[in-house]
Structure 1
């Protein structure tokens, strides 16, 4: 009985915290009357307040030959845009900041990483409403980071790149081809590349504040349906559009050519969400996704529960 009462109290507390009227003091410029969210209880506080996780803007870069202290197996988000020097954004920084507002050549971009969903996506910051700059709300929906733009203070879902609350509701950001790989893999392929320099914040960069998360039983602050096909909620899947390939299958087969894409797996990248030090994480490997012409394809390597939450009618490419 006591556990039942506790559960009911938690439900009531969650419902109360989901009332947008309670957020207006912190978000006076956000138009909560405009939203695509049908159930406000889906949006929860992740703990930190607005900008409690500080997004970065205009970071410094150094050449890959500079000693940055990065271990060979540490994960980076690689961005290789035409006409620009390739850039690597180390997860050891993004795990603490989650968003980097940058400009590559003439293209304004947002490099995003949600540790709770393992979702790493790069967006074009140009929209019909102008160039936007992004910060972290401190809110979660289906355990995924809710971003906000500083121009209208509309709220955006990181996993989908769509505005879900505020004046820009329904607007979608254009995702750009990018991928996670090891620092050694990026450096070997791009001897003239650039890597983001350590930010000027007091953080223990290289430490994983989510130790053991990707082998835990349940996602943080997620009470939605589990993924189908017996997949563990925290198993990594490669999402391309509305399709998801389990990483266990890709690791076993090495390469899969289906649905117009070729997905290749290669060992050598440490999980950022495993050991206390990122460099000590177990090997989860790196993924590249290309089309029939060999061009890189927009994709995400996210947890199975998150794919199921945001693409409930998605197609599971289990190979069975």
Structure 2
């Protein structure tokens, strides 16, 4: 049973081998990575340095910016390395490390979006109790739970991946190491891994998505009861950006982890993965800052000559 040759590295197949396409992909991912890192860093610094932004909503937004930086930095640099022709190989330990951090931030972001939806629910539906229900200790507890629960889930899934044997093909049909794609290469039984993946997907994806939708159903019902048009507009403006991010993020993550990692769905899985590893981290600062007067004012204070 132990007569096998262990795989010590994997090959990330990435995208098309066409040079023109790779050149376009290199430019595309380079721009998105730079914008994602700079944009989220600016959001994080602006919120941290401005006392006027030390509120629950911006506290969660700062956590989201930090998660986006870690997410895109876990995947994109290795992809860029492969696109410039240096190496499309990734070591076994490097693959597990990428799986750990990516699973951690994906789970944390899904939980954080739920916490942000709850914050908006309390702010709009129970404004008189907002200071009590969303006090600083409560916000810290929610954020700490987000990071801790997702870290436990990531550690467990990475441990289960580390128990598997990889003794056959080492070609990962993806542009980064992700649990569904790597499981296809295992020559060990993956039943337990698949069960844990489904459980995590149901909890982090489906259950939290339902909680978020329930929160927004109450929010929308409360907004519709507002008599003034200006009040409705102000309430919708505080929630519409978050709702766009929720739909974009949840739909792509759930699709990736529910769909099989081979066959005709492979190309679609790559596109979905692009959304939550490159596109979403880049768009989040734009979605939250361009429509937010407080954030724009904080950025003007930081860069008066630019803004």
What is the TM-score with the length of structure 1 in the denominator? 0.24
Higher helix share: 2
**Higher RCO (C-alpha under 8 Å, 6+ residues apart):** 2
Higher strand share: 1
